[in-house]
Structure 1
Amino acid sequence: MTNPLPPVHPPLSEVRRRPARVAAVQMVSAPRVADNLAAAAALVAEAVAEGAELVVLPEYFAIIGLSDGDKLRVREEDGSGPIQDFLAETAARHGIWLIGGSIPLLASDPGKVLNSSVAYAPDGRRAARYDKIHLFGFEKGSERYNESATIEAGKTPVAFDTPFGRIGLSICYDLRFPELYRALGVLDLIVLPAAFTETTGVAHWEILLRARAIENQCFVLASAQGGRHENGRETHGDSMLVDPWGTILDRKLKGPGIVVGCLDPARSDEVRASLPALQHRVM
């Protein structure tokens, strides 16, 4: 018996979608939450001044600690805490959709956290939460990462609807697993907050982002950490907005800043009409 294709939610012809300005924030986060929230607030305000209606913050925007265990000290209960309050208040103050790239939430294992992306609507209410499913592991020479030591993996893919289309949530290492996005059905935008290492980023970051845009025929907005952190780690940066044809519309290579561009659902419709690959799927 063959497995059915993931459901398409819902046919795009039945959904009213409008263009919108969107922005990715790039940061070089430090071990101090208060400093990072102040930096994020300034960059969100800059994006709003550029007309952004949706803003995405990077993975670990609130803290990149001196050790992996530092994020356990600032983890929050779901729905309560200074980082979540900051996101809700910032979304409401500016009247925007705001996606908090990832924040540490309490996990069922007391020695770990959930690495969670939380989305807020323009009135400050939470619209969605996604817990990172794929946990990064890497070893090359003296460079070693093992997220599963301090992070509890999520289990459920998540997408949510806005006036300008359906948005799929993902975090960093998820980018390497195209089946995650297929499980979400047809999307208008994939958001990818990340803290890619410089080593893997140089080799694979742009290629993977453009591939996800091309194969899903949707926009991809990647919001990255980008620079040398106080713990010595170097993150790749190169935040970008990619269109459904794989064209990079804007990018920020290194350092704090923003990427801004137009999410136009008509562009996705045009690409899908001329190359109906999503309709041609057989498995």
Structure 2
Amino acid sequence: MMKIATAAYPLDPVQTWDAYAAKLEEWVADAAGQGADLLVFPEYGAMELAILDGPEAAGDLERSLHAVSRWLPEVDNLHSELAARYGVHICAASAPVFDLDHGTRPVNRARLFTPQGGCGVQDKQIMTRFEREDWDVIPGGPLRLFDTALGRIGILICYDVEFPLLARALSDADVILAPSCTEALAGYSRVRIGAMARALETQCVVAMASTVGDAAWCPAVDENTGMGGIFGPPDTGFPPTGVIAEGVLNKPGWTFAEIRPAAVAAVRVEGVVLNRAHWTEQPERAEKAINLSLR
């Protein structure tokens, strides 16, 4: 059994590093205290760190990227310490990272920390229009599947979960994490629908985290709509709606669900339908499509 906690996380204008560290520990302690094994923070939740370089840096799209990226070594050390102290796995809020392996522009990177001191990184694969056209954040390294004490975990950051072939590359995952940052209800809905579709196709659990609330002091993430959600295939061993747990729209806090990796393995063999196994039949059937003109 695994208990997942997925965040609806508000971005706060933290004025000092100690204030940020205290906030993060409060969130981790809360989830761990309720028995969570795996904590999922949202996409770009780390942008609140930009204010530590001053309001001018936080208020400028380019300067905010550099400000947050500079704090990441300390942020990662803190997450590693908290994962060990509280005995939990943590998917840290994603952040822009200037990684020389990818040139002069930043990637959007999530990091997965284990209680034993392990750390894996996952970069976003497909960028939104804002990331491409306004922010110049670029795709990073390849998709990875993490073999952990909790099971096999993959990460698809926000927009990535809207693309089925990315999830197919992670089709051996027991759980796919979908940290997200969406401005409007339509954006939240797209990511949620994508998460539920990926759970259906891959016959696994998908855990979605969101940023929530206003952060006018940081224009990159100034408006946020969402909630936590944990989804599975609407099939044997899972709720008929596919919704294992969900939070309240725009209400900060954790959403919890207990899941069994064994249920994922079972539905892939004994489900009413076998979407994951039948995936490979699509190319053959698609090639036989016939174009008809009806008048």
Instruction: Using structure 2 for the length normalisation, give the TM-score.
Output: 0.79
Aligned residue type for 1:28 = P
Higher mean C-alpha displacement, 157-166 vs 211-220 = 157-166
Q: Distance in 1 between the 2:77 and 2:167 partners?
A: 29
Matches within 5 A, 1:36-55: 36-55=20-39
Out of 273, 278, 281, which is 1:280 matched to? 278
Q: Distance in 1 between the 2:203 and 2:106 partners?
A: 33
Q: Distance in 1 between the 2:133 and 2:27 partners?
A: 28
> Alignment length, in residue pairs?
256
Q: Summarize the Cα distance change of 1:53–1:147 in structure 2 as closer, same or farther, 3 Å threshold.
A: farther
Over aligned residues, Cα RMSD in angstroms?
Answer: 2.3
Out of 46, 66, 89, which is 2:81 matched to? 89
Q: Summarize the Cα distance change of 1:221–1:268 in structure 2 as closer, same or farther, 3 Å threshold.
A: same
Matches within 5 A, 1:16-27: 19-27=1-9
Contact 1:115–1:151 under 8 Å retained in 2: yes
Contact 1:112–1:149 under 8 Å retained in 2: no
Out of 243, 247, 258, which is 2:242 matched to? 247
Q: Summarize the Cα distance change of 1:195–1:202 in structure 2 as closer, same or farther, 3 Å threshold.
A: closer
The residue matched to 1:90 in structure 2 has which SS?
helix
* Identical pairs, percent: 28
Contact 1:56–1:98 under 8 Å retained in 2: yes
Contact 1:227–1:236 under 8 Å retained in 2: yes
Give yes or no for the alignment of 1:259 onto 2:255.
Answer: yes
Return the offset for 1:101.
2.7
Give yes or no for the alignment of 1:168 onto 2:154.
Answer: yes
Contact 1:101–1:171 under 8 Å retained in 2: no
Alignment partner, residue 188 of structure 1: 174
Q: Distance in 1 between the 2:9 and 2:66 partners?
A: 21
The residue matched to 1:191 in structure 2 has which SS?
strand
Alignment partner, residue 213 of structure 1: 199
Return the offset for 1:76.
3.9
Q: Distance in 1 between the 2:80 and 2:70 partners?
A: 14
Contact 2:180–2:191 under 8 Å retained in 1: no
Aligned residue type for 2:110 = S
Greater Cα radius of gyration, structure 1 or 2: 2
Higher share in helix: 2
Alignment partner, residue 53 of structure 2: none
Return the offset for 1:202.
5.1
The residue matched to 1:74 in structure 2 has which SS?
helix
Give yes or no for the alignment of 1:230 onto 2:205.
Answer: no
Return the offset for 1:155.
3.7
Contact 2:206–2:231 under 8 Å retained in 1: yes
Alignment partner, residue 9 of structure 1: none
Alignment partner, residue 71 of structure 1: 65
Contact 1:28–1:225 under 8 Å retained in 2: yes
Return the offset for 1:48.
0.5
Return the offset for 1:52.
0.6
Return the offset for 1:147.
6.2
Give yes or no for the alignment of 1:117 onto 2:110.
Answer: yes
Instruction: Using structure 1 for the length normalisation, give the TM-score.
Output: 0.82
The residue matched to 1:271 in structure 2 has which SS?
helix
Return the offset for 1:162.
1.7
Return the offset for 1:26.
1.9
Higher mean C-alpha displacement, 95-104 vs 228-237 = 228-237
